[in-house]
A and B are shown apart, each in its own frame.
Chain A
Amino acid sequence: MSRAVIKQHHSLWYRVLLGLPALLALGSSLGQDEIEREGYFEVRSASTELVGGVHTLDARLQLVLSSEALAALSSGVPLTIELQMEIIRERRFYIDDLTAELAVRYELEYRPLSQRYIVRNLNSGDQDSFATLYSALNSLGRVQDLPLLDDALLENDKRYRVRVRVLLNTQQYPAPLRLLFFWRDQWQLQSDWFEWQLQR
């Protein structure tokens, strides 16, 4: 679903650009891809649990990297995968209020010498290394007991909902790369928002 939306969004951009010969030529040069895997991110399941007055998040993420992302990874380019969380207060007669937002960023890196993949939590600095990409992504896709929010910060009689999504963040790359990634579907890896009512 999310990919379809993104794709549509970008094809619109492409259509606008079709009128411009130079960009068209550039687009054709970029379009010469081999048989490629598109890749996708998806939130399979997510839930919160109130443990000791703190809401913690458990989530299962499906992270499938695209060919270009894989190529970048194997070239030593670290990928940043960001888990975005939002807690929204529902309001009846007004637009909902964003009470809190939280992002946890993980860095996935390949070390050619040791031939291992490093997964680093950029927020905490914790890191693990894995022999295979599969196990690295698997580890990334398993979020457990992630402290989300202190329940005391929430108002008692209000209804809240939580939503999470996971995306490939390209902000840390140099400008030329980002300009290019902006036009590439394969770098637009982003899941839909996964949304549920906050149980208190």
Chain B
Amino acid sequence: MAAPTLKRAIYIILAATGVGLALVALFLLSRTAQNSDDFDRLHNVILSINIAGVFVLFMLLVGNLARLLREYRGHVPGAKLKARIVGMFVGLAVLPLLVVFYFSMQFINKGIDTWFNVEVKAGMENALRLSRSALEMQMREHLNSTQEIAQRLGNVSGRQLVFELSMLRRESGASEITIYGSNNRILATSSDRSLAGLPRPLIEEVRVQMQQDRPYVALDPEDYEIRTAVTFSVSGRGQPAGVVLAHYPVPERLARMANSVDKSYREYQQLEFLREPLKSTFSLTLTVVLMLSLLTAIYGAFVLSRRLVAPIQDLVAGTRAVAEGDFDMRLPTPTRDEIGFLISSFNDMTQRLASARREASLSQALVEAERANLEVILARLSTGVLALESDMRIRTANRASGAILNVSLENHVGESLVDLAKGHPLLDQFVDVAQVHLGAGETDWREQIVLRGEVGRRVLTCACTTLPGDEDHAAGYVIVFDDITALLQAQRDAAWGEVARRLAHEIKNPLTPIQLSAERLRRKYLDSMSEEEAQVLDRATHTIVQQVEAMKEMVNAFSDYARTPDIEIGKFSMDKLAHEVVDLYRAQESGIEIVLTSDPTMPMIEADIGRVRQILHNLIRNATEALENTDAGRIDVHVSAAEIDTVNVMLIKVEDNGPGFREASLSQVFDPYVTTKPKGTGLGLAIVKKLVEEHMGTIRAYNGKEGGAVISIRLPLNEAAREAMIAKAPGRAELRRERA
């Protein structure tokens, strides 16, 4: 910021100096051109100032021009406009200046020339010649007189010389006659000027003439006196004896006129001589003035164009910055004119744009945050949420939806749900139901769906509604569904538990009095009855007691089912437990072969040992009961640890070679009172399922490939595995809590 300011200041100083110098120079020039006294004193100063002014302006102009060219070539915004303005101003300034210059030059040259008329000049020369010939005539006459005097003096003796000289002077009209002897000695003199001093010695000019024996005649240019000199010889002698110098006055009128002619001619000649220098000087002055004016005008054009274009350049830079997304640009408002108004409007605009953008980004961030929140909520939701486009493509799906429908829907966003359903039986049934509704034009519906899968029934409650559409998206749908299988099961289990408890309570109470009454009847009346009657009574009471006993057993079983003691998790060896239980059944020698496959090195399991033992008991007893009518019955018990889907589980599988489950009741084998066996309460598998679920494990019942029933159980090995299994099966946690 400092450098441009400094540069600007230097430019301004230079410009001011240039203009100031030029003005001073012009003033001085104009003054000195008229007043010659100051000229010498100021001449050098004026010239220096002039040249400095012109030089400064010239340098400024060169700098400006170079800059303009550079900007023009570099396509700097505003450069073209600046060039045009400069060109326009220069044109405006230069043309009139040149016209004025041309006419001034013409005027000076022609004007000065007209002062010098050819005829005047010829007249002057003629006047001069005329005067000169008039004077020459006089001079010739006077020379003749002097020569006569010299002749006459040759005959005069030395003593009479002075007297004779005065006489001759008066006769000839001379003002002074002097006779010089050899060595310029003055022999005699006569003058009409009494006060005049001694005559001066012969000047060299005269002596030279005399030495060459030639007469001398000259006109004194100041006094208008004709001077003549001739040699004279004494008669009889050949050698010249001396020189006679005679001064004759020119008649006063003639002298005055001659002087006037001489003076006028000289003045005219001087003027004539001055003519060219005068023209040159005026031209020079005019040219310097023109140069200064021209350079100043051109420089002014540069300055003006820069001032005019600067705000426009700012504006261009500003709009560029705005186009590039920089809304924080503020332009300086230099003036209060229209351009200033434009710039302040621009500033307002960018300010508004900036605040609008800030608000937009703020609200966008808000939306993003909302969206993120929603996603987190959706992800954590145990309810499946599936948003579909109108053409059944997946818009969004949460993780729970995938878990419920057994397809990771969240990874197939944008794909068609119908295409995805192929090969996924649960999803296929789900899509069928949905398509039925949507195909019928129903967009808001609610239904409970029962899906049949490999692991049994799955009951979902579905609710569908339309999503609000916008310009880009046609209205889609959102289907919200919950897996309520576990819930229903829990409700059923709870109902059964309640039933069992009531039964146990309501039925068990009268059973004992019934049994006691029957035994009392028997004891009291058996002996007193006839044999035939006694047999009837015996059989009847026996049946009553037996049936009551059976009922008690049944009621106890119900009571067991309903009882839910607190689960006690402990660490124990599954291998050891399996061997204990299996050995117990082997000892009964029921004729059924029990084969245990177990790995002694598998890790310990964290579970309620009592419950797991009961599971094994129930399963083996269930299998044993199922094999009652089967020859060479065999039970295979597999116990192993494995990692399935990154979860460590204990696998327990009990397989028999009996008749297996009836296909029709396969999905309800775990419900109480569902049994295919001749014996049993129908509660064995229900209790097993309950126990497994209390451990957050899973249980499956199916028929083996070679017939026979297979019960497969997965129990979590530890707490971490239990958590993982809860997460994988939504609804279980609620169930667990509910139970807790």
Cβ 8 A contact of A113, one of B132, B204, B272, B287: B132
Provide 25 A-B residue pairs closer than 8 Å at the C-beta atoms, listed in order of the A residue: A19-B58, A20-B54, A21-B291, A23-B287, A29-B280, A71-B273, A72-B273, A76-B265, A76-B269, A111-B266, A112-B265, A112-B269, A113-B128, A113-B131, A113-B132, A113-B219, A113-B221, A114-B218, A115-B132, A116-B219, A131-B205, A171-B40, A173-B36, A176-B280, A178-B36
Q: Which 9 A-B pairs have the closest CB atoms?
A: A76-B266, A22-B287, A176-B281, A113-B262, A75-B273, A111-B221, A114-B221, A76-B269, A175-B36
Given contacts A129-B220, A175-B39, contact A17 B51 (CB under 8 A): yes
Residues in chain B near residue A17, CB distance under 8 A: 51
Closest partner residue, chain B, to A178 (CB atom): B39
Cβ of A37 to closest chain B Cβ, rounded Å: 17
Complex: A26 Cα to B131 Cα, angstroms = 40
A63 to B478, CA, bound (A): 123
Can you list, as one digit per residue, whether each of A81-124 has a CB less than 8 Å from chain B (1) or not (0)?
Answer: 00000000000000000000000000000011111101000000
From residue B198, how far is it (CB to closest CB) to chain A in Å?
17
Interface residue? A174 (CB, 8 A): yes
CB-based nearest B residue for A172: B36
Bound-complex Cα distance A128 to B204 (A): 12
Whether the Cβ atoms of A112 and B262 lie closer than 8 Å is yes
Q: How far is the CA of A69 from the CA of B258 in the complex (A)?
A: 26
Interface size class of B (residues with CB under 8 A): 35 or more
Instruction: Report the bound CA distance from A113 to B261 in whole Å.
Output: 8
Nearest B residue to A115, CB-CB: B132
Q: Whole-angstrom distance from the CB of A177 to the nearest CB of chain B?
A: 5
Identify the stretch in B27-35, B228-236, B241-249, B463-471 within 8 Å (CB) of chain A at 4 or more residues.
B27-35
Interface residues of B in 260-278 (CB under 8 A from A): 261-262, 265-267, 269-270, 272-274, 277-278
Is there an interface contact between B132 and A176, defined as CB atoms closer than 8 Å? no
Known: A16-B51, A135-B204. 14 other contacts (CB 8 A): A17-B51, A20-B291, A22-B288, A22-B291, A23-B288, A76-B270, A112-B262, A113-B132, A115-B132, A131-B218, A175-B35, A176-B274, A176-B281, A178-B40
Which residues on the A side are within 8 Å of B204 (C-beta)? 135
B273, A113: Cβ atoms under 8 Å? no
A20–B56 Cα gap in the complex (Å)?
12
Q: Residue of A at shortest CB range from B38?
A: A175
Interface residues on A, range: 35 or more
CA distance A114 to B262 in the complex (A): 9
Any chain A CB within 8 A of the CB of B397?
no
B43 within 8 Å of A (CB atoms): yes
Q: Looking at chain B's contact residues, is the secondary structure mostly helix, strand, loop, or mixed?
A: helix
Q: A26-B284, A178-B36, A178-B43 are in contact. Are A76 and B267 (CB under 8 A)?
A: yes
Nearest CB of chain B from residue A127's CB, rounded to whole Å: 7
Which residue of B is nearest A181, CB measured? B277
Residues in A whose Cβ lies below 8 Å from that of B205: 130-131, 135
- Which of B128, B258, B284, B287 contacts A179, CB < 8 Å? B284
Say whether B283 faces chain A, with CB atoms less than 8 Å apart: yes
**Given A175-B36, A179-B284, do A114 and B58 touch, yes or no (CB 8 Å)?**
no
Instruction: With CB as the reference atom, state the residue of chain A lying closest to B127.
Output: A113
- CB pair A75–B269 under 8 Å, yes or no, is yes
Q: Does residue B282 face the partner (Cβ distance < 8 Å to A)?
A: yes
Kindly state whether residue B290 has any CB partner on chain A within 8 Å.
Answer: yes
Interface string of B175-203 (1 = CB under 8 A from A): 00000000000000000000000000001
Does A196 make an interface contact (CB < 8 A)? no
Task: Please give, as numbers and ranges, the residues of chain A lying within 8 Å of B51 by CB-CB distance.
Answer: 16-17, 20
- The CA of A6 and the CA of B608, in the complex, are separated in Å by 128
Is the beta-carbon distance between B283 and A176 smaller than 8 angstroms?
no
Smallest CB–CB gap between B723 and chain A, Å?
96
Among B43, B220, B221, find the residue whose CB has the most chain A CB atoms closer than 10 A.
B221
In the assembled complex, which residues on chain A have CB atoms less than 8 Å from the CB atom of B55?
19
- State A42–B36 Cα separation when bound (angstroms): 29
| Interface presence of A1 (CB below 8 A) | no
By the criterion CB–CB under 8 Å, are B281 and A180 in contact? yes
Any B CB within 8 A of the CB of A50: no
Kindly state whether residue B222 has any CB partner on chain A within 8 Å: yes
**CA A16 – CA B280 in complex, angstroms?**
19
Neighbour of B281 across the interface among A22, A75, A179, CB < 8 A: A179
For A180, the chain B residues whose CB sits under 8 A away are 277, 280-281, 284
Docked pose: A130 CA to B227 CA in angstroms: 13
The CA-CA distance from A129 to B224 in the complex, in Å, is 12
Among B43, B262, B273, B290, the residue within 8 A (CB) of A77 is B273
Determine whether the beta carbon of B270 is less than 8 Å from that of A176.
no
Question: What is the bound-complex CA distance between A177 and B273, given in angstroms?
Answer: 10
B residues in contact with A177, CB < 8 Å: 274, 277-278, 281
Whether A175 touches B269, Cβ cut-off 8 Å, given contacts A112-B262, A113-B132, is: no
Query: In the complex, what distance in Å separates the CA atom of A60 from the CA atom of B277?
Result: 33
Determine how close the nearest CB of chain B comes to the CB of A35; give it in whole angstroms: 18
Contacts of B269 on A, CB cut-off 8 Å? Answer: 75-77, 112
* A residues in contact with B285, CB < 8 Å: 179
| B280: chain A residues within 8 A (beta carbon) | 26, 29-30, 176, 180
Give the residues in chain B near A128, CB-CB below 8 Å: 203
Partner of B270, one of A30, A75, A114: A75
Nearest CB to that of A21 among chain B residues?
B291
Report the Cα distance A20→B203, complex, angstroms. 54
Asked if B83 CB lies within 8 Å of chain A CBs, one says no
B298 at the binding interface (Cβ < 8 Å): no
Residues 115 to 162 of chain A near chain B (Cβ within 8 Å): 115-116, 118, 127-131, 135
Bound complex: CA of A83 vs CA of B530, how far in Å?
198
Q: Which of A23, A114, A129, A178 lies at the interface centre, i.e. has the most chain B CB atoms within 10 A of its CB?
A: A114
In the assembled complex, the CB of A152 is this many whole angstroms from the nearest CB of chain B, namely 32
**Please, which residue of chain A has its CB at the minimum distance from the CB of B216?**
A131
Does B135 reach chain A (CB closer than 8 Å)?
Answer: yes
Contact B274–A175 (Cβ < 8 Å):
no
- Nearest A residue (CB) for B135: A113
Nearest CB on B from A101, distance (A): 17
Pair B221/A129 contact, Cβ less than 8 Å: yes
Name which residue of chain B comes closest to A127, CB basis. Answer: B222
Give the CA-CA distance A72 to B261 in the complex, in Å.
Answer: 19
User: Given A20-B291, A118-B221, A182 and B43 touching (CB < 8 A)?
Assistant: yes
A50 CB → nearest B CB, Å: 27
Measured between beta carbons, the chain B residues less than 8 angstroms from A19 are 55, 58
| Cβ–Cβ contact A129 & B222, under 8 A | yes
- Measured between beta carbons, the chain B residues less than 8 angstroms from A175 are 32-36, 39, 281
Q: Is the CB of B40 within 8 A of A176?
A: no
- Residues of the B chain whose Cβ atoms lie less than 8 Å from the Cβ of A176: 33, 274, 277-278, 280-282
Interface flags, B131-166, vs A, CB<8A=1, else 0: 110010000000000000000000000000000000
**Across-interface contacts of A182 in B (CB, < 8 A):** 43, 47
Q: Given A22-B291, A26-B283, A130-B205, A174 and B265 touching (CB < 8 A)?
A: no
Q: Which residues of A contact B262 (CB under 8 A)?
A: 111-114
Interface string of A6-20 (1 = CB under 8 A from B): 000000000011011
CB distance from A19 to the nearest CB of B (A): 7
Residues 40-59 of B, flagged 1 when their CB comes within 8 A of A and 0 if not, give: 10010001000100110010
B370 CB, min distance to chain A CBs, angstroms: 76
Contact with A along B205-222 (1 / 0, CB 8 A): 100000000000011111
Report A-chain residues with C-beta under 8 Å of the C-beta of B34: 175
- Whether A114 pairs with B219 at a CB distance below 8 angstroms is yes
